[in-house]
Amino acid sequence: MTETVETRPFEARVQELLNLMIHSLYTEKEIFLRELVSNASDALDKLRFESLTTSGLLDEGEELAITLEVDVAARTLSVIDNGIGMDRDELIANLGTIASSGTQRFLEEVSSSKGATAPELIGQFGVGFYSSFMVAEEVSVVSRKAGGGEGHRWRSEADGNYTIEPAPGARRGTCVTLLLAEREGEEGESPDFLDEGTLRSLVRRSSDFVEYPIRLGDDVLNSQKPLWARPKDELSEDDHREFYQHLTHDWHPPAQTIHFKAEGAHEFTALLYIPSARPANLFGADAARTQLSLYVKRVFITAECEDLLPPWLRFVRGVVEASDLPLNVSRETLQANPQVRQIRKSLTKKILATLEALRDRDREAYRGVWDAFGSVLKEGLCMGEDPDGKLAGLSLLETSRGEERTTLGEYVERMGEDQEAIWTLLGPDRATLDASPLVEPLRARGWEVLYLTDPVDEWMVDRLTEFDGHPLKSVHAADLDLGDDEGAERASAAAEASADLLEALAEHLGDEVSKVRFSTRLVESPAVLVSEAGPPRPHLERALREGGMAPDLPPVGRILELHPGHPLIERLCAMHAEAASDPRLFDFADLLHGQALLAEGAPPRDPARFARLVTDLMTSAP
């Protein structure tokens, strides 16, 4: 059976996207050219890489290039490459569905914002191939896969369908032909894409650094100098913005640009960008891996070279070009390559130094970067990959000192002479921790407490046990010793006098607590819950149980501490002395325990009973 023309419907989301494109009043329609050139350049990269290991893909002495062709009479503009090409299935999969995550994200952003912003978003995102429909009535793509069979023609007028048919005699690579829409009444607004001068200046502006020649007639329109290979001071912010957008499809300009050349035993050039906004796919099972492109002597090797950066720097984007790696490195052997490891070390060092400099120079900008990527950086701390404390020093943490977050270095500078540790407290948020009874004794001594409110902090505290020679200690610890002799004496005297009471309360509270004791630390609050050392910590434990990850996790017994000097506790002792069987004692115990849980942002174990006890108490108040 011979293949004939087949008509197929677009995936629903593609049609949605095409409608947006066609009806867009977006003024910078010219971005379509940047997108098509960028696709052509990727296709050439892929072919060049494949041809390193598969022979016969490239003809002897053949030049890899991108060609623009204009037919003024027919009103067509073609973007042609002799790259990897697409077979029939790939044409259907790549051009009939939404494959790229950037486009997916664009659609999500459009549907979550008002329709009015869609036109701006188009330009900011760069939605790939489909942006052709902003300027074309009809798009035809003829492609033949390198090393594959016959070519195919894909064609669409964006009317809900596309056709696909064999294209015998097609050359290897891809030719995208746009039948340009008439520019009625648009003169002066939208450039004429059939005009040579227009094309020339567009290519220079947005695709100059593309490494393959972009030809129009006999001329090469671009300088082809990869941005990273040019002297640092020759590059403008605009150059970087264009290049960054070409790499990432992120429409926010990068927060930081790092461009350097390492000389010496292993030479390499790196052009790295720290984005200013967090991409959607940074966490979770399908989280993006490190996305650095690796080149060896101008030859593109891979766009996702994981081995060039530790996973906790996976948000950094850019290009690394090494001059003395073997050209036939496979992605598998990269990891074991000592030079790659050396580069990774040096990139890591450079990125951390850049972040440190930004932290010290421009706190506001740094705050933005930390808010976007702090949780990722902390993964490095959780993995114990911070031998010299640099990552720890980059953390911005909430503090009892005030609204403004602090670094550990600043904390240490403020530490009192008598302060033996960097004090920390884990919890859900700043407000809750600020009101915690556990902070009271430290505040009374003028000591600052760091509030660890990020979920990942639960894991971080296991590894981050010291900074700059000072231990980090949790004020939550049952064995906290603040050196308060008076408090200790008072607590032990009370314990002697009311040993029976403590035992009776503990028995009543059952599994919820492992012990009830008098506190040496409390200042104002009557009671607090503290924990024995070792995980799981209370918040983590609750999260695991409530999140369904460990529903049967037995509650870890906590210690309920009572403030021996507090009038309420004194009254409790007096009641017990009068009548050890007074049932109100147990109501009080439940109220105190519930209150201690509330203070750490958790519900009392039996909220209904807790509410009833509070009501009774208020009703019986004189």
Q: How far is the CB of 47 from ligand ADP (least distance, A)?
A: 9
Q: What is the DSSP letter of 183?
A: -
- 607 token code pair: 């909220």
**Shortest Å, Cβ 173 to ligand ADP:** 7
Q: In whole angstroms, how close is the CB of 238 to ligand ADP at the nearest point?
A: 22
Q: Are 35 and 207 in contact (CB under 8 A)?
A: no
Determine how many CB atoms are found less than 10 A away from the CB of residue 8. 13
Closest CA to 538 of 546, 442, 463: 546
Contact 104, 79 (CB under 8 A): no
- Do the beta carbons of residue 425 and residue 476 sit within 8 Å? yes
Tell me whether residue 126 or residue 441 sits nearer to ligand ADP (CB atom). Answer: 126
Reported for 298-302, long-range contacts at CB under 8 A and 24+ positions apart, including other chains, are: 298/211, 298/226, 299/48, 299/49, 299/52, 299/327, 300/45, 300/48, 300/49, 301/49, 301/329, 301/331, 302/49, 302/331
What does the alpha-carbon distance between residue 291 and residue 304 come to, in Å, rounded to a whole number? Answer: 4
Distance of closest approach, residue 330 Cβ to ligand ADP, in angstroms: 21
**At its nearest, how many Å lie between ligand ADP and the CB of residue 336?**
29
Q: Which is nearer to ligand ADP, 20 or 270 (CB)?
A: 20
Q: Which residues bind ligand ADP (CB under 6 A)?
A: 35, 39-40, 43, 81, 83-86, 94, 99-100, 102, 128-130, 174
* Cβ closest to ligand ADP, residue 39 vs residue 269: 39
Phi, psi torsion values for 604, nearest 5 degrees: -60, 155
Q: Which is nearer to ligand ADP, 42 or 410 (CB)?
A: 42
- Rounded to the nearest whole angstrom, what is the least distance from the CB of residue 143 to ligand ADP in the complex? 6
Q: Which is nearer to ligand ADP, 132 or 354 (CB)?
A: 132
Nearer to ligand ADP, 100 or 161 (CB): 100
Q: Minimum distance between the CB of residue 66 and ligand ADP, rounded to whole angstroms?
A: 9
Which of residues 65 and 550 has its CB atom nearest to ligand ADP in the complex? 65
Distance of closest approach, residue 152 Cβ to ligand ADP, in angstroms: 12
* HSE-up of residue 324 (Cα within 13 Å, Cβ side): 10
Closer to ligand ADP by CB, 83 or 151: give it: 83
Cβ 103 to ligand ADP shortest distance, Å: 6
Q: Which C-beta is closer to ligand ADP: that of 44 or that of 591?
A: 44
Strands 422-426, 317-322: pairing kind:
unpaired
Q: Dihedral (C-alpha) 548, 552, 556, 560: value to the nearest 10 degrees?
A: 80
For residues 242 and 37, is the Cβ–Cβ distance under 8 A?
A: no
φ, ψ of residue 293 in degrees (nearest 5): -90, 135
Q: Quote the least distance from Cβ 130 to ligand ADP, whole Å.
A: 6
Residue among 128 and 427 whose Cβ is closer to ligand ADP: 128
Shorter beta-carbon distance to ligand ADP: residue 94 or 531: 94
Q: HSE-up of 328 (CA within 13 Å, CB side)?
A: 5
CB of 388 to ligand ADP, least distance (A): 39
CA–CA dist 34, 607 (Å, integer): 61
Which of these, 390, 388, 305, lies nearest to 354 by C-alpha position? 390
Position with the least CB separation from ligand ADP: 128
**What percent of the residues of the chain are helix, what percent strand, and what percent coil, each to the nearest 5?**
40, 20, 40
- Beta strand ranges found along 434-506 (DSSP E): 449-452, 466-467, 470-474
